[in-house]
Amino acid sequence: MKLFGTDGVRGLAGKKLSANLAMKLAMAAGIYFRKHSVTNKILVGKDTRKSGYMIETAIVAGLTAVGYDAIQIGPMPTPAVAFLTEDMRCDAGIMISASHNPFEDNGIKFFDGNGDKLGEEIEAKIEQIYFDDELVESAQKTGLAIGSAKRIDDVVGRYIVHIKNSFPRELNLKGLRIVIDTANGASYKVAPTVFSELGAELIVLSDEPNGNNINANCGALFPQALASEVKRLRADIGFAFDGDADRLIVVDEKGEIVHGDALLGILAAHLARQNRLRGGKIAATVMSNAALEDYLAKSKISVERCNVGDKFVLEKMKECGLNFGGEQSGHVIFGDYAKTGDGLVSALQVSACLIQSGKKASELFGALKPYPQLLVNLKINEKKPLSNLAGLKELEEELNAAKVRSLFRYSGTENLIRLLLEGKDERVIKTKMAQVEEFFKKALA
């Protein structure tokens, strides 16, 4: 059994992610972090799911059982937990959230004392401890060595100040009509406060969480309601966050959803014009459209590609000494202000870019037109190593000769292979995709 996926531990709350699993995982994490302990404190935050109560209680029980002091801060965005872990000098941070998943699911993400997501090597060590029953049993404390738990409700102010400091001091949001959708999630208090304090004329959607309405036909996964309201209210721009607020979807004044790669490209070029783009490069995943590279090349900015997942974007940024990167899904990382994707930081940077450009949002982001892309999820019987498939190399060479970019990768959770083709001619892509599907149906039957 493997616990950790691409972004922490995630699953159906009460089943795959049970109270027992959460408690034992917290014990294992506590045992690992104790080796590097400085303050003997671990921060615990969560989103607005009903199951968060169960999992939070189990995690606190696990941490205190192995001698750690737990600091509970309640509903808070994932990037806030990352920031506050470092700011409050904790040994580690834990976020209870399944991000954009439906409310039935939940998840557990870990941050180290610097507010960085854990690498796969550390996750593997925690997993190894988790399955060592003898070690977990022997690490439990008694008497005064048992840890304590404390709930703090006012740390949100620290994060709000931090977020506002990411916005240029010489600017404000007065004169901008902005609609935001907080997905009935972790940003339902923070986001309206930040935008209001900076002077925006603000309309807020989906800010009444009840435990089971997080991400329900709202937020970053369902931006249609936001788009409709932006257009109806003649707003200048709209921002949708997901359940834990590490993702941002932007809607222009016409009610059109801005493509994630257009968001990355326009923001990167804006940073470069202000001499704020470190290294003359950005980090983006293999999923990003080739139009992003072509657009940025005009400004002498190159793109460093990495695997899908914001933690891999961050790893690439660190490796190359960069301060900007992201995914087309809406995870945007401004390394000068955040250790992970932060929807609020991104929204404020978009707002600053909009003000300083003097353009309407549709004009600003319409400058980057993604090339046609076709993505097919093909059901398969067996996940054979792609490198062993006879004829695949020749197929890829043929696609390359036709000026079609290809990306083939297996799903991490299902018996699917994801087939992505991209090029400037949509008809060519459709023809080639039929050929690609036929190839994989035979090769993976």
Comparing CA positions, the residue from 189, 94, 131, 169 lying closest to residue 2 is 131
Write down how long the chain is. 445
Please count the other Cβ atoms lying within 10 Å of the Cβ belonging to residue 145.
9
Q: CB burial class (10 A; 0-12, 13-18, 19+) of residue 175?
A: exposed
Spatial contact of 94 and 118, defined as CB atoms under 8 Å apart: no
- Whole-angstrom CA distances from 399 to 261, 306, 426 are 23, 21, 14
What is the rounded distance in angstroms from the CA atom of residue 357 to the CA atom of residue 353? 6
Q: Give the separation between CA 422 and CA 290, rounded to whole angstroms.
A: 8
Taking the C-alpha atoms of residue 330 and residue 343, their distance in angstroms, rounded to an integer, is 8
Amino acid at 211: G
The answer to whether 71 touches 42, Cβ cutoff 8 Å, is yes
Task: Answer yes or no: are the C-beta atoms of 68 and 147 closer than 8 Å.
Answer: yes
Answer for the pair 436, 406: CB distance below 8 angstroms, yes or no. Answer: yes
CB-based burial of residue 275 (10 Å sphere; 0-12 exposed, 13-18 middle, 19+ buried)? exposed
Find out whether 237 and 351 touch, Cβ atoms under 8 Å. yes
Are residues 342 and 247 in contact, defined by beta-carbon separation less than 8 angstroms?
Answer: no
Q: Across-strand partners of 333?
A: 325
Q: Which residues are known to be catalytic?
A: 99
Burial, 436: exposed, middle or buried (Cβ in 10 Å; 0-12, 13-18, 19+)? buried
Find out whether 103 and 71 touch, Cβ atoms under 8 Å: no
Residue with tokens 């087939």: 419
| Nearest of 52, 45, 58 to residue 103 by alpha carbon | 52
